[in-house]
Chains A and B, each alone.
Chain A
Amino acid sequence: MNIYQIRSEINAFYQKFQIIINTVAKFIVSFIAFSLVNKAIGYDSRFAQFPVTALLSLLCAFTPSSVLVLMIMVLSLVHVYFASKFLAIIVAVIFVILYCLFFRFVPQYGTAVAALPICWYIGLPYAVPLILGIMASPISIFSIICGVISYKMFKIINIEAVAPTESLNDALALYIRVVEKLVKDKEMYALIVIFSLVIVICYVVRKLKIKYAFEISIAAGMIFSLVGCVIVNTKFSEQKAVGKIIFMNILCAAIAFIVQFFKRVLNYKAVENVQFEDDDYYYYVKAVPKIEPQIQNGRENAYYDDLEEEPLEEYNEETEEAEIKNISIVERANARKREREVYKREESVDFTVDTSGIDIDDEINK
């Protein structure tokens, strides 16, 4: 049994118990995320208790991932508000600025924004730009910017939250200290640039039509991240940790490689239950995707299962516009004859709905 067959077995297992696995995984991830937030900035002991964390995790287990991102933000704000009302206002304003300038363009990467500070807290921040580089488009740089700034902001708040803010002078002094530390943090700007370049390098290399493009992109991203982070650490950081940075970068590259290998599972088209009707029948259809590894010469076929793209042919606006306008008129005899031939080919095949990683456009391209 080779590794691709093992992956197919895992895929089949996931397909069978998809709903349960997704729910449990979301609960575990949410619980870990909330626990880390409570550990980092858990000033309000009421919200840091186990029943509250479990309840919030249960809520996030049954709702879309955007709710988890929102709950992490709300929980963070609640904790900071308990420590200092003025600091909470500063955090809220910075969140709004980040949303207006960056996050509103990449709402689909909200998980990355929440994941970066959490991964940073456990020492694995380099995994997020690597994974975004191999799975997303360069626009995800905006989510990295939001994530880095959020992490640095909460790090500053951790230190400044104990400062008194009874008078207006104290509040203003606290505000000036926080903003100064955030704006003058050269390490933050350097890391934003390095992580952004890692995403771009990984994206460019994986788009090349070469063998092992994904593996080379992870290696290239890791090397750039390693060199960049070591330089930043030696130049800007007070705590020198070159050995730890090197080890963590290699570990994050291994994580990215595992994620990329199982991308087919993550990008997996689930069992679909659809219903529709025509003049004669109501149809209740269960479409089960086939899972078969496409192995050739011991290596998986090139697979354009990118989250962001499909193999699209060149788009000609005039042709497409004309086609859409004339679609209901079908008067050309050649078009009818061509389609009749296609229908005849379809009739000769047993009735199965094959949705195994092939999109509806695959029928057009046959």
Chain B
Amino acid sequence: MLDSRKIRLMTRLSIYERGKGKKDIGLSKYYKTDYVRLNVIKTVISVTFAYFLILVMVVLYKSEYLIANAVTLDYRTIGMRVLGIYVALLVVYIIGTMIGYNAVYSSSRLKAARYYRMLGRLTQIYKEEDEGEDL
């Protein structure tokens, strides 16, 4: 005997799992701090790599000047400036990443919680069916 409530519920759950739920259910396997930290690490790596490429481009651009003044340049000041810009860029990106991915996780968690609630209702239907069979 087909149960229309159960089929309706399972259909909605299946549609959700195939669509938006893929990302939400995947995210629900992480703790919030772990998810944010993972994305912060990815951001640090990508920003460091991009900054290195930008440095290479700047050095190439200023190569004539650098070669001509190689002996007289104040490397300490240049190094401090390069490091300072890198740290400032990293801080901005880390703060932005933490805020952004916190919001993404919270929003995704809410949708996943609703999904699990629907799953709980399905479990309840199964329990009622089992109780009915026992009787």
Contact = CB atoms under 8 A, between A and B. Distances in A.
Interface of A: 93, 96-97, 100-101, 104-105, 139, 172, 175-176, 179-180, 272, 274-276, 278, 281, 283, 285, 287, 310, 312-313, 315, 317, 320, 323-324, 327-328, 330, 336, 339, 342-343, 346-347, 351, 353, 355, 360-361, 363-364
Contacts of A101: 46-47, 50
A97 B11 contact: no
Contacts of B114: 360-361, 364
A105 B11 CA distance: 32
A97 B53 contact: yes
A327 B117 contact: yes
Contacts of B5: 343, 346-347
A339 B121 contact: yes
Interface residues of B, number: 45
B69 interface: no
B60 A175 contact: yes
Interface of B: 2, 4-8, 10-16, 18, 32, 42, 46-47, 49-50, 53-54, 57, 60-61, 63, 100, 106-107, 109-111, 113-121, 123-125, 127
A348 to B, nearest CB: 11
A180 B100 CA distance: 33
Q: Give the residue among B4, B32, B100, B127 with the most A Cβ atoms within 10 A.
A: B4
A138 to B, nearest CB: 11
B46 A100 contact: yes
B interface SS class: helix
Contact of A285 (B7, B61, B121): B7
A323 B54 CA distance: 48
Contacts of B125: 343
Given A285-B7, A323-B113, A330-B120, A139 B12 contact: no
A125 to B, nearest CB: 25
9 contacts: A97-B53, A274-B14, A274-B18, A275-B14, A323-B117, A327-B120, A339-B124, A351-B4, A360-B118
A172 B15 contact: no
A96 B53 contact: yes
Contacts of B61: 175-176, 179-180
Nearest to A104: B46
Nearest to B5: A346
A143 to B, nearest CB: 15
A97 B54 contact: yes
B46 A285 contact: no
A317 B109 CA distance: 9
B14 to A, nearest CB: 4
